[in-house]
Chain A
């Protein structure tokens, strides 16, 4: 069973301003993109469970022209506040990389 990391062109996280964290899961072609969506492994609900945050905090987008799934959440810690360990928000996508995607 391939992982999301093996199927994606790029999985990344990043700040969208100091108060929001955003995740991009991008694919080379529409077929792979559609397959991942159809698998149901990555959804608003599953993302909320994986990151253990309320589902209402998760904004979930499908961008067909970009063959990309996008997710935005409130930053777990405000950028550069006491608890924040990721100024650019660039290493918060790690939990997505090894998700198994059923064929």
Chain B
């Protein structure tokens, strides 16, 4: 069969790309333009709150160039994991930006919105049926976990996107999606071989992350043919090498050879990487093993509470040499102070104060082997979490004062044991979330969890 060309605009929409690189990609006549828009990498806050990770201005700039490029070629544009977390709020946010650009530029296209946020009753039914199974490692799952989640998304494969394009969609804005599926959809629809298609898609999904020396997020293109694919960055000033392309399957994957997708597994164990010229690489031998059943990965975030932080430094040697005793002691005594203020309305289990000690084990925690080599000064980061913002503020204020003056036996008289760099010493951070799922669900078909809405723009 003929080749299929796939243009990846950038590693993530909103992170930017050089206009010249993207234009060069357009001049090479891709069959599809795609870009990923999200991840769990920045933590559960985006999924939990629906707040995007990248700025609206930066996202609009990128999307405008993609929509204009698509309009020239009349090929599909696919943007996945909209709004970073990929929840419905993210899809709506990206839709509004697209509509605004269409008005400003006078663009017309058929738009598909594919949502990935999951119905809780649906998930509870699948849980009862035993069709939700944990990955390793996974937190425990129950109906209560599903109920208390702020948002749960399923990670779609290529099938819902292909269905939308078959029904005429020219621009697809998807909720949470496998990054790889965004780039694999059109080649698979055109009958390209699954092995090279999926491996190429894996290379493309991070934009120019697979080049020898990455300068910035930028556009990259793949040419997929029967038994191989070629990949080349669009900026003529950067290049791929066989080693740099081979290395890309290491990034953010636990296994560099076998990569799980909703519909199967990418297998690069037999892949061969050859330099096509001084900038492009050809890859042979990649395989894709279809799964017996589709597995849709779930991502969930639940509210952990409202957080405040206190940052402080300690330089005094007497405190540093008894730091743990001092920190534990102040927390125990502080419980009495809470009892005084709240008179039993707030118990020891209703608030959480955690302290991280930089200069000792603040970065690595229990993995730190040099915990005993404490520095001559340390930074204390206290995090306070309670179920509501007002209580968090009250606890943080009270604790900052209490902790600063908590005594040590060596000194007689009032001490100030913490150097605060900020005034007031505490900062309210608002709601914080935690990941609560690492599970897969087996649907009857790969599309049922992802409703699609069409708009004529």
Contact = CB atoms under 8 A, between A and B. Distances in A.
A24 B250 contact: yes
A3 B111 CA distance: 55
Nearest to A22: B254
A17 B433 CA distance: 16
Nearest to B352: A82
Given A68-B247, A95-B369, A74 B43 contact: no
A61 B254 CA distance: 10
A66 B435 contact: no
Interface in B378-400: 383, 385
B138 interface: yes
Contacts of B364: 76, 85-86, 91-92, 94
Main secondary structure, interface of A, reads: loop
A82 B354 contact: yes
> Which range holds the interface residue count of chain A?
35 or more
B328 to A, nearest CB: 16
B446 interface: no
Contact of A85 (B246, B251, B356): B356
A76 B367 contact: yes
A16 B253 contact: yes
A9 B64 CA distance: 37
B366 A76 contact: yes
A26 B212 CA distance: 12
Interface in B283-331: none
A70 B385 CA distance: 36
B252 A79 contact: no
A92 B137 contact: no
Interface in A55-86: 59, 61, 63, 65-68, 70, 72, 74-86
Nearest to A29: B243
A80 B41 CA distance: 10
Nearest to A77: B365
A5 interface: no
Contacts of B362: 85
Contacts of B273: 65
A52 B369 contact: yes
A83 B139 CA distance: 15
Interface string B252-289: 11111100000000000001110000000000000000
Contacts of B256: 61, 63, 66, 68, 70
B42 interface: yes
Interface string A1-43: 0000000000000111111101010100000000000000000
A92 to B, nearest CB: 6
A36 B63 CA distance: 45
Given A63-B246, A77-B365, A18 B254 contact: no
Lowest 7 A-B CB distances belong to which pairs? A65-B246, A72-B254, A66-B247, A66-B246, A16-B254, A80-B43, A18-B435
Interface of B: 40-45, 135-139, 242-243, 246-247, 249-257, 271-273, 352, 354, 356, 362-367, 369, 383, 385, 432-435, 438
Interface of A: 14-20, 22, 24, 26, 50-53, 59, 61, 63, 65-68, 70, 72, 74-88, 91-92, 94-95
22 contacts: A14-B252, A17-B40, A17-B252, A17-B438, A18-B438, A20-B137, A20-B254, A51-B367, A61-B256, A63-B256, A65-B242, A65-B272, A68-B247, A80-B432, A80-B433, A81-B434, A82-B354, A82-B383, A83-B354, A83-B365, A87-B42, A88-B42
